[in-house]
Amino acid sequence: MQNMNTNKTIIVGMSGGVDSSVAALLLKEQGYKVKGLFMQNWQTEAGEECTSEIDFKDASKVCDLLDIPLHRANFADEYWDRVFKEFLSEHEKGRTPNPDILCNREIKFKSFLDYAIKIGADLIATGHYANLKIIDNSTYLTRAIDLDKDQTYFLHEVKENEFKKCIFPLSKYTKNEVREIAKKHKLPIADKKDSVGICFIGERNLKDFLNKFITFEKGKIKDENGCVIGEHQGSILYTEGQRQGLNIGGVKGRDELPWYVFKKDIKNNEISVCQGVNNNLLMNSSLWLEEINYINNKEPTYPYDCFVQVRHQHKPVQCSVDKNNNGFLINFSKKIRAIAPGQSAVLYNNDICLGGGIIAKTFK
Protein backbone atom coordinates (compact mmCIF):
# COMPACT_ATOMS: atom_id res chain seq x y z
CA MET A 1 0.00 0.00 0.00
CA GLN A 2 1.40 3.40 -1.00
CA ASN A 3 2.40 5.78 1.80
CA MET A 4 -0.03 8.72 1.65
CA ASN A 5 2.87 11.03 2.54
CA THR A 6 4.67 10.31 -0.76
CA ASN A 7 2.27 12.69 -2.52
CA LYS A 8 3.10 15.63 -0.26
CA THR A 9 6.08 17.97 -0.59
CA ILE A 10 7.40 19.46 2.62
CA ILE A 11 9.96 22.25 2.65
CA VAL A 12 12.02 22.32 5.84
CA GLY A 13 13.61 25.51 7.12
CA MET A 14 17.25 24.36 7.33
CA SER A 15 19.41 26.41 9.70
CA GLY A 16 22.53 24.27 9.66
CA GLY A 17 21.79 23.10 13.20
CA VAL A 18 20.93 19.71 14.65
CA ASP A 19 17.20 20.37 15.18
CA SER A 20 16.24 21.29 11.62
CA SER A 21 18.55 18.57 10.26
CA VAL A 22 16.85 15.84 12.30
CA ALA A 23 13.43 17.30 11.40
CA ALA A 24 14.27 16.83 7.70
CA LEU A 25 15.58 13.30 8.34
CA LEU A 26 12.43 12.24 10.23
CA LEU A 27 10.13 13.59 7.51
CA LYS A 28 12.08 11.76 4.80
CA GLU A 29 11.79 8.54 6.80
CA GLN A 30 8.01 9.11 6.97
CA GLY A 31 7.84 9.12 3.19
CA TYR A 32 7.40 12.81 2.40
CA LYS A 33 9.05 14.51 -0.58
CA VAL A 34 11.45 16.70 1.40
CA LYS A 35 13.27 19.81 0.26
CA GLY A 36 15.35 22.21 2.33
CA LEU A 37 15.30 26.00 2.37
CA PHE A 38 18.09 28.03 3.98
CA MET A 39 17.02 31.53 5.04
CA GLN A 40 19.56 34.33 5.05
CA ASN A 41 18.04 36.95 7.32
CA TRP A 42 20.99 39.22 8.03
CA GLN A 43 23.40 41.00 5.69
CA THR A 44 26.86 40.77 7.22
CA GLU A 45 29.09 43.83 6.88
CA ALA A 46 32.60 43.62 5.48
CA GLY A 47 35.05 42.39 8.10
CA GLU A 48 32.39 40.81 10.31
CA GLU A 49 32.44 37.11 11.04
CA CYS A 50 29.90 35.49 8.72
CA THR A 51 28.23 32.71 10.68
CA SER A 52 25.47 32.39 8.07
CA GLU A 53 28.00 31.07 5.53
CA ILE A 54 29.17 28.44 8.03
CA ASP A 55 25.55 27.50 8.72
CA PHE A 56 24.75 27.28 4.99
CA LYS A 57 27.70 24.92 4.44
CA ASP A 58 26.50 22.74 7.32
CA ALA A 59 22.96 22.70 5.91
CA SER A 60 24.38 21.77 2.48
CA LYS A 61 26.34 18.84 3.94
CA VAL A 62 23.24 17.50 5.69
CA CYS A 63 21.05 17.85 2.58
CA ASP A 64 23.69 16.09 0.46
CA LEU A 65 23.79 13.23 2.97
CA LEU A 66 19.98 12.97 3.06
CA ASP A 67 19.79 13.35 -0.72
CA ILE A 68 17.38 16.26 -0.63
CA PRO A 69 17.63 19.51 -2.65
CA LEU A 70 18.51 22.72 -0.80
CA HIS A 71 17.19 26.12 -1.84
CA ARG A 72 18.55 29.41 -0.53
CA ALA A 73 16.48 32.56 -0.05
CA ASN A 74 17.59 36.02 1.07
CA PHE A 75 15.08 37.66 3.42
CA ALA A 76 17.53 40.26 4.73
CA ASP A 77 15.46 43.24 3.49
CA GLU A 78 12.27 41.89 5.04
CA TYR A 79 14.11 41.13 8.27
CA TRP A 80 15.55 44.65 8.44
CA ASP A 81 12.19 46.32 7.80
CA ARG A 82 9.91 44.08 9.85
CA VAL A 83 12.13 42.78 12.67
CA PHE A 84 15.29 44.83 13.15
CA LYS A 85 13.69 48.29 12.96
CA GLU A 86 11.21 47.21 15.63
CA PHE A 87 14.09 45.84 17.72
CA LEU A 88 15.83 49.25 17.62
CA SER A 89 12.61 51.15 18.27
CA GLU A 90 11.87 49.10 21.38
CA HIS A 91 15.40 49.66 22.73
CA GLU A 92 15.04 53.40 22.19
CA LYS A 93 11.88 53.30 24.31
CA GLY A 94 13.90 51.62 27.06
CA ARG A 95 12.26 48.22 26.66
CA THR A 96 13.87 44.81 26.19
CA PRO A 97 12.59 43.33 22.91
CA ASN A 98 12.68 39.69 21.79
CA PRO A 99 13.53 39.56 18.07
CA ASP A 100 12.99 35.77 17.88
CA ILE A 101 9.25 36.26 18.42
CA LEU A 102 9.05 38.90 15.66
CA CYS A 103 11.19 36.73 13.36
CA ASN A 104 8.80 33.80 13.75
CA ARG A 105 5.78 35.98 13.00
CA GLU A 106 7.23 38.04 10.15
CA ILE A 107 9.84 35.80 8.50
CA LYS A 108 9.54 32.09 9.29
CA PHE A 109 5.75 31.93 9.12
CA LYS A 110 5.21 34.68 6.51
CA SER A 111 8.13 35.23 4.11
CA PHE A 112 9.42 31.65 4.35
CA LEU A 113 5.93 30.14 4.16
CA ASP A 114 4.97 32.26 1.12
CA TYR A 115 8.25 31.45 -0.63
CA ALA A 116 7.94 27.73 0.12
CA ILE A 117 4.42 27.54 -1.32
CA LYS A 118 5.58 29.38 -4.47
CA ILE A 119 8.24 26.71 -5.09
CA GLY A 120 5.84 23.82 -4.63
CA ALA A 121 5.43 23.09 -0.92
CA ASP A 122 2.24 21.50 0.37
CA LEU A 123 3.47 22.07 3.92
CA ILE A 124 6.45 23.59 5.73
CA ALA A 125 8.36 22.23 8.71
CA THR A 126 10.82 23.67 11.22
CA GLY A 127 12.99 22.32 14.01
CA HIS A 128 11.00 24.04 16.74
CA TYR A 129 10.16 22.10 19.89
CA ALA A 130 6.39 22.58 19.76
CA ASN A 131 3.29 20.57 18.93
CA LEU A 132 0.03 21.06 17.05
CA LYS A 133 -3.27 19.44 17.99
CA ILE A 134 -6.49 19.42 15.97
CA ILE A 135 -9.58 19.72 18.17
CA ASP A 136 -13.03 20.21 16.54
CA ASN A 137 -11.39 21.17 13.22
CA SER A 138 -9.28 23.88 14.90
CA THR A 139 -5.47 23.71 15.04
CA TYR A 140 -4.02 24.52 18.46
CA LEU A 141 -0.40 25.24 19.38
CA THR A 142 0.57 23.03 22.34
CA ARG A 143 3.71 22.36 24.31
CA ALA A 144 6.35 19.86 23.17
CA ILE A 145 7.23 16.74 25.16
CA ASP A 146 10.58 18.30 26.19
CA LEU A 147 9.39 21.09 28.47
CA ASP A 148 12.96 22.35 28.99
CA LYS A 149 13.26 23.02 25.26
CA ASP A 150 9.60 23.91 24.56
CA GLN A 151 9.50 26.91 22.19
CA THR A 152 5.79 27.73 22.14
CA TYR A 153 6.68 30.94 24.02
CA PHE A 154 8.45 32.17 20.86
CA LEU A 155 5.57 31.14 18.56
CA HIS A 156 2.64 32.84 20.26
CA GLU A 157 2.28 35.62 17.65
CA VAL A 158 1.84 33.19 14.75
CA LYS A 159 -1.76 32.58 13.67
CA GLU A 160 -3.74 29.35 13.30
CA ASN A 161 -3.88 29.79 9.50
CA GLU A 162 -0.08 29.54 9.34
CA PHE A 163 0.07 26.59 11.74
CA LYS A 164 -2.39 24.68 9.54
CA LYS A 165 0.34 24.60 6.87
CA CYS A 166 3.10 23.51 9.26
CA ILE A 167 4.54 20.37 10.85
CA PHE A 168 6.78 20.22 13.93
CA PRO A 169 8.57 16.85 13.59
CA LEU A 170 10.40 17.21 16.95
CA SER A 171 7.25 17.58 19.07
CA LYS A 172 7.57 14.08 20.58
CA TYR A 173 11.34 14.08 21.09
CA THR A 174 13.67 15.38 23.78
CA LYS A 175 16.81 17.29 22.83
CA ASN A 176 18.96 14.34 23.91
CA GLU A 177 16.97 12.00 21.66
CA VAL A 178 17.38 14.40 18.73
CA ARG A 179 21.16 14.43 19.20
CA GLU A 180 21.19 10.62 19.42
CA ILE A 181 19.26 10.37 16.14
CA ALA A 182 21.78 12.74 14.52
CA LYS A 183 24.71 10.64 15.78
CA LYS A 184 23.07 7.35 14.73
CA HIS A 185 22.70 8.64 11.16
CA LYS A 186 26.17 10.22 11.22
CA LEU A 187 24.92 13.72 10.48
CA PRO A 188 27.93 16.09 10.43
CA ILE A 189 26.21 18.53 12.82
CA ALA A 190 25.38 15.96 15.53
CA ASP A 191 27.60 17.70 18.10
CA LYS A 192 27.18 21.28 16.88
CA LYS A 193 26.41 23.69 19.72
CA ASP A 194 23.01 25.35 19.86
CA SER A 195 23.01 29.00 18.89
CA VAL A 196 22.36 31.32 21.83
CA GLY A 197 21.59 35.00 22.15
CA ILE A 198 20.45 37.30 19.36
CA CYS A 199 21.31 35.92 15.94
CA PHE A 200 22.47 39.17 14.29
CA ILE A 201 24.65 40.19 17.25
CA GLY A 202 26.42 36.84 17.70
CA GLU A 203 29.50 37.05 19.90
CA ARG A 204 29.60 40.84 19.89
CA ASN A 205 28.92 43.02 22.91
CA LEU A 206 25.33 44.37 22.83
CA LYS A 207 26.45 47.96 23.59
CA ASP A 208 29.07 47.93 20.84
CA PHE A 209 26.53 46.61 18.36
CA LEU A 210 23.72 49.00 19.31
CA ASN A 211 26.15 51.93 19.35
CA LYS A 212 26.16 51.80 15.55
CA PHE A 213 22.50 52.77 15.55
CA ILE A 214 21.77 54.44 18.91
CA THR A 215 23.68 57.12 20.87
CA PHE A 216 24.17 56.33 24.56
CA GLU A 217 24.78 58.75 27.39
CA LYS A 218 26.22 57.88 30.77
CA GLY A 219 23.97 58.49 33.75
CA LYS A 220 23.38 57.95 37.46
CA ILE A 221 22.87 54.65 39.25
CA LYS A 222 20.78 55.18 42.37
CA ASP A 223 19.95 52.89 45.27
CA GLU A 224 16.41 52.38 46.60
CA ASN A 225 16.78 55.54 48.73
CA GLY A 226 17.69 57.72 45.75
CA CYS A 227 21.39 57.98 46.68
CA VAL A 228 23.82 58.00 43.75
CA ILE A 229 26.15 54.98 44.04
CA GLY A 230 27.55 54.61 40.53
CA GLU A 231 27.47 55.50 36.85
CA HIS A 232 25.92 53.50 34.00
CA GLN A 233 26.73 53.42 30.28
CA GLY A 234 23.22 54.22 29.03
CA SER A 235 19.95 53.40 30.76
CA ILE A 236 18.39 51.66 27.75
CA LEU A 237 21.10 49.00 27.87
CA TYR A 238 19.86 47.55 31.16
CA THR A 239 17.04 45.16 31.98
CA GLU A 240 14.99 44.76 35.14
CA GLY A 241 16.59 42.03 37.23
CA GLN A 242 20.02 42.48 35.59
CA ARG A 243 23.07 41.87 37.77
CA GLN A 244 25.97 41.82 35.32
CA GLY A 245 27.70 44.95 34.03
CA LEU A 246 26.71 47.35 36.81
CA ASN A 247 30.28 47.81 38.08
CA ILE A 248 29.18 49.00 41.50
CA GLY A 249 32.07 48.83 43.92
CA GLY A 250 31.89 48.67 47.68
CA VAL A 251 29.24 51.10 48.92
CA LYS A 252 29.86 52.61 52.35
CA GLY A 253 27.49 51.24 54.97
CA ARG A 254 26.09 48.51 52.68
CA ASP A 255 26.60 44.75 52.77
CA GLU A 256 28.77 43.05 50.16
CA LEU A 257 25.74 41.65 48.33
CA PRO A 258 25.16 41.76 44.55
CA TRP A 259 23.12 44.61 43.11
CA TYR A 260 20.17 44.21 40.72
CA VAL A 261 18.32 46.68 38.50
CA PHE A 262 14.74 47.15 39.70
CA LYS A 263 13.73 50.30 37.78
CA LYS A 264 14.73 52.33 34.73
CA ASP A 265 13.97 56.03 34.23
CA ILE A 266 14.58 56.55 30.54
CA LYS A 267 13.45 60.20 30.55
CA ASN A 268 16.10 61.15 33.13
CA ASN A 269 18.57 58.47 31.97
CA GLU A 270 18.80 56.85 35.42
CA ILE A 271 18.60 53.31 36.74
CA SER A 272 17.73 52.21 40.27
CA VAL A 273 19.25 49.16 41.93
CA CYS A 274 18.72 47.11 45.08
CA GLN A 275 20.52 44.30 46.87
CA GLY A 276 19.41 40.69 47.26
CA VAL A 277 18.21 38.32 44.56
CA ASN A 278 14.70 38.14 46.06
CA ASN A 279 14.40 41.77 47.16
CA ASN A 280 10.74 42.78 47.18
CA LEU A 281 11.55 45.68 44.82
CA LEU A 282 12.25 43.05 42.13
CA MET A 283 8.90 41.32 42.63
CA ASN A 284 5.83 42.03 40.48
CA SER A 285 2.19 41.30 41.29
CA SER A 286 0.70 42.11 37.88
CA LEU A 287 1.46 43.39 34.39
CA TRP A 288 -0.21 45.36 31.63
CA LEU A 289 -0.57 44.48 27.94
CA GLU A 290 -1.81 46.94 25.33
CA GLU A 291 -2.79 44.09 23.00
CA ILE A 292 -3.18 40.31 23.09
CA ASN A 293 -2.72 38.17 19.99
CA TYR A 294 -5.01 35.14 20.25
CA ILE A 295 -3.60 32.39 18.00
CA ASN A 296 -7.03 30.97 17.18
CA ASN A 297 -8.78 34.37 16.98
CA LYS A 298 -11.13 33.25 19.76
CA GLU A 299 -11.29 35.98 22.37
CA PRO A 300 -12.54 34.59 25.70
CA THR A 301 -15.10 36.15 28.03
CA TYR A 302 -13.37 38.44 30.55
CA PRO A 303 -12.21 38.04 33.21
CA TYR A 304 -10.82 34.52 32.84
CA ASP A 305 -8.20 32.37 34.58
CA CYS A 306 -5.20 30.76 32.89
CA PHE A 307 -1.40 30.54 33.26
CA VAL A 308 1.12 33.20 32.27
CA GLN A 309 4.78 32.77 31.26
CA VAL A 310 6.94 35.92 31.12
CA ARG A 311 10.14 34.54 29.57
CA HIS A 312 11.45 31.37 27.96
CA GLN A 313 11.79 28.57 30.54
CA HIS A 314 9.96 30.62 33.16
CA LYS A 315 7.67 28.34 35.15
CA PRO A 316 4.10 29.46 34.33
CA VAL A 317 2.10 31.09 37.12
CA GLN A 318 -1.68 31.03 37.56
CA CYS A 319 -3.27 34.36 36.75
CA SER A 320 -6.48 36.18 35.89
CA VAL A 321 -6.84 38.24 32.71
CA ASP A 322 -9.20 41.22 32.52
CA LYS A 323 -9.87 43.77 29.80
CA ASN A 324 -10.87 47.42 29.69
CA ASN A 325 -10.82 50.12 27.04
CA ASN A 326 -7.06 50.67 27.26
CA GLY A 327 -5.72 47.12 27.34
CA PHE A 328 -5.40 44.03 29.49
CA LEU A 329 -4.49 43.61 33.15
CA ILE A 330 -2.96 40.29 34.24
CA ASN A 331 -2.93 39.63 37.99
CA PHE A 332 -0.71 36.81 39.27
CA SER A 333 -1.62 34.27 41.95
CA LYS A 334 1.93 34.74 43.32
CA LYS A 335 4.55 37.40 42.66
CA ILE A 336 6.93 37.03 39.71
CA ARG A 337 10.52 38.25 39.91
CA ALA A 338 12.13 40.73 37.51
CA ILE A 339 9.72 41.13 34.60
CA ALA A 340 11.14 43.15 31.71
CA PRO A 341 8.82 45.45 29.71
CA GLY A 342 9.30 44.74 26.01
CA GLN A 343 9.42 41.00 26.58
CA SER A 344 6.26 38.94 26.06
CA ALA A 345 3.67 37.57 28.46
CA VAL A 346 2.34 34.33 26.96
CA LEU A 347 -0.92 32.76 28.10
CA TYR A 348 -1.65 29.04 28.45
CA ASN A 349 -4.65 26.86 29.19
CA ASN A 350 -2.70 23.87 30.55
CA ASP A 351 -0.55 22.84 27.54
CA ILE A 352 -2.48 24.88 24.93
CA CYS A 353 -0.86 28.22 24.04
CA LEU A 354 -3.65 30.80 23.78
CA GLY A 355 -1.47 33.70 22.63
CA GLY A 356 0.09 36.69 24.33
CA GLY A 357 1.39 40.21 24.01
CA ILE A 358 4.26 42.59 24.70
CA ILE A 359 4.59 43.69 28.32
CA ALA A 360 3.96 47.44 28.48
CA LYS A 361 4.07 47.97 32.28
CA THR A 362 4.59 46.01 35.46
CA PHE A 363 3.25 46.67 38.95
CA LYS A 364 5.06 45.95 42.21
Residue 276 pLDDT > 60: yes
Q: What are the structural domains, with CATH classification, of the chain?
A: 7-184 (3.40.50.620), 216-277 (2.30.30.280), 283-363 (2.40.30.10)
Task: Please give the full DSSP string across 69-111, using - where no structure is assigned.
Answer: -EEEEE-HHHHIIIIIHHHHHHHHTT----HHHHHIIIIIIII
Helix (H, G, I), strand (E, B) or coil at 149: coil
Give the residue numbers marked as catalytic: 103, 199
pLDDT at 108: 93
| Percent over 70 (pLDDT), the chain | 94
Residue 269 pLDDT > 90: yes
SS (H, E, C) 194-235: CCCCCCCCCCCCHHHHHCCCCCCCCEEEECCCCCEEEEECCH
173-220 tens-digit pLDDT:
999 999 999 999 999 988 888 877 666 666 667 778 888 888 889 999
d(CA 26, CA 5): 12
- 41-55, 68-82, 320-334: range with lowest mean pLDDT: 41-55
Between 171 and 203, residue with greater pLDDT: 171
Residue 6 pLDDT > 70: no
Please tell me whether the overall predicted TM-score, pTM, comes out greater than 0.75 for this model.
yes
pLDDT at 200: 64
CA angle 304, 156, 117 (to 5 degrees): 140
From 37, 41, 61, 65, select the one nearest 51 (Cα to Cα).
41
| Peptide bond before residue 316 is cis, with ω within 30 degrees of 0 | no
From 106, 297, 171, select the one nearest 98 (Cα to Cα).
106
